[in-house]
A and B are shown apart, each in its own frame.
Chain A
Amino acid sequence: MAGAAAVLEDDSLLSRLDRRLARAERVLALISGVFAFGLMVLAVVSVTGRNGFNEPLPGYVDWIEAFMPLIAILGISYVQRQGGHIRMDIVVGALRGRALWLAEWITTFLILVLMVALVWGSWAHFDRSFDFGAPMWSRDSSIDIGLPIWPAKLVVPIAFAVMCVRLVLQLWGYGRAFVLGLESPVAVPLVQSAAEIAAAEARQVEGRD
């Protein structure tokens, strides 16, 4: 969904940082997808083993639970870059220019507040399960095959930290748009209509070249 990313680009430092981060984010999203695929493979192996050889896969549930944060959270920043997290845009959709960028800046800032807190909280959650002195550094383990849980817990603060970087870039982008009064700023996902305008402009520019 939201197939075409409505994020504009140019040669500015902000846009270069945006694109560099976007490449990293895409890798993380791909890892999420690959593990979703892995979930499928795991199920195929489990079903085949169980029905074909009377050999259920040991720790099937443990492995699924270990995979899930990779699938469900790792690529969160990629989705944010593309404006893919859903929202109600009936109010922001009606705004234009500085009012729009101000509204975007405020809601983005609130997300940053949440994310910084969650980096802290999810790190603490990881930290409680991690112990340098213990075997496999583990102070929390899965039910059946005793997998250490800290790696899966670590995924969350990592993904959220990347998300924080993304949010800072977006705040920069919206702030710049607000200060300079831009029509179609770079490095931020644009509300559909604004994106259309920008695309139309781009096409016109191409036509004149």
Chain B
Amino acid sequence: TEWNVSLWGKRRAFTEHVHKLAELVEEKTDGEFTMNISYGGLSNNRENLDGISIGAFEMAQFCAGYHPDKNRAITVLELPFMGVSTLEEETAVSHAVYDHPAVTEEMAQWNAKMLMTSPMPQYNIVGTGEPRDELADFDGMRVRATGGLGEAFRAVGAVPTSVTSSEAYQAMEGGVVDTVAFAQHAHLSFGTINEADWWTANLNPGTVNCPVVVNIDAYESLSEDERAALDSSVPEAIDHYLANYGELLARWDSVLEERGVEKVMISEEQLAQFEEVGGAPIQQAWIEEMSGQGLPAQELFDLVKSTLNEQRGTN
């Protein structure tokens, strides 16, 4: 069996688990089951779910915030100020939500099955010129921030002006946006850190959620061995991802120094203020809106919270 896998951008920390998965699967099946990983060749990054639904390729990665209406249920994972603080917590929370029937059902509409998440640290923003280290500076700021992050910035007067990650550098360079919110690896991979004068070290408003999915028909037509190889490789692939990302985070400070990017600390008081307007109100609004659309929104929200507590209890 040969699978086509649709990713975008270029190989980076964000896609390492997919490469690891391909490696493991090929190894375990003695080369019977291989994966062909394509960066942007098979689909537009906002249409990977469409491609899965059509059956054009068998596996793909996408981000919930690129098209909230395609994946309402998992947008819970992109709500701001949910209190997730490590990649391990992010992984646990994501997989708990992916296993919820509401998510399974919604993904099944796209002929898709959740395979694993691509856990990402808290998003922080880079910008040029004077650092924006007070909430007042966010007023009228055009920020590339998708999903719930965008909502949080909107709550303090910023204007989310978003493009996909591959277009973010151009948007910043070309003046479409003033600031870009990304995880560290993306600031590196998409070059926004090269353009930046400063980076907010502790804004931590939340993150985005980008699952890897497989086409259900393709998954079901795998042989027993192949399917076992795929399923059993997920935890290993995630471990590899976490280790790799950990290294990146460990050398982050030197990356900033190399590129002459100022590390901006925002005061506790300002952060509290941000969370007050950008946290609970947006979470509540989400629960109300999604409940109105017939989703078990409260249940999903509570699932995130309880998984988080559990995760902290065991560690």
Contacts and interface: CB of A to CB of B under 8 A. Distances in A.
Task: Indicate if A touches B (C-beta under 8 A).
Answer: yes
B95 interface: no
B293 A143 contact: no
Contacts of A128: 50, 53
A54 to B, nearest CB: 4
A89 to B, nearest CB: 33
Size range of the chain B interface in the assembly: 20 to 34
A143 B53 contact: no
A149 to B, nearest CB: 8
Contacts of B150: 143-144
In this complex, which of A54, A60, A138, A139 has the most chain B Cβ atoms within 10 angstroms of its Cβ? A139
Contacts of A124: 54
B28 interface: no
B139 interface: yes
B160 interface: yes
Contacts of A16: none
A56 B142 contact: yes
Interface stretch (B64-72, B120-128, B237-245): B64-72
Given A55-B140, A56-B142, A134-B293, A139 B160 contact: no
A50 interface: yes
B163 A143 contact: yes
A140 B293 contact: no
Given A55-B140, A140-B69, A61 B163 contact: yes
Q: Give chain A's interface secondary structure class.
A: loop
A72 to B, nearest CB: 16
Nearest to A55: B140
Size range of the chain A interface in the assembly: 20 to 34
A109 to B, nearest CB: 27
B159 interface: yes
Contact of A140 (B54, B70, B159, B161): B70
A149 B68 CA distance: 11
Contact of A134 (B69, B162, B164): B69
A143 B162 contact: yes
A54 B161 contact: no
A135 B69 CA distance: 9
Interface of A: 50, 54-58, 60-61, 124-125, 128-129, 134-135, 138-141, 143-144, 146, 148-149
Interface of B: 50, 53-54, 65-70, 139-140, 142, 146, 150, 159-164, 176, 293
10 contacts: A56-B140, A61-B162, A61-B163, A125-B50, A128-B50, A134-B69, A135-B293, A141-B69, A143-B67, A143-B162
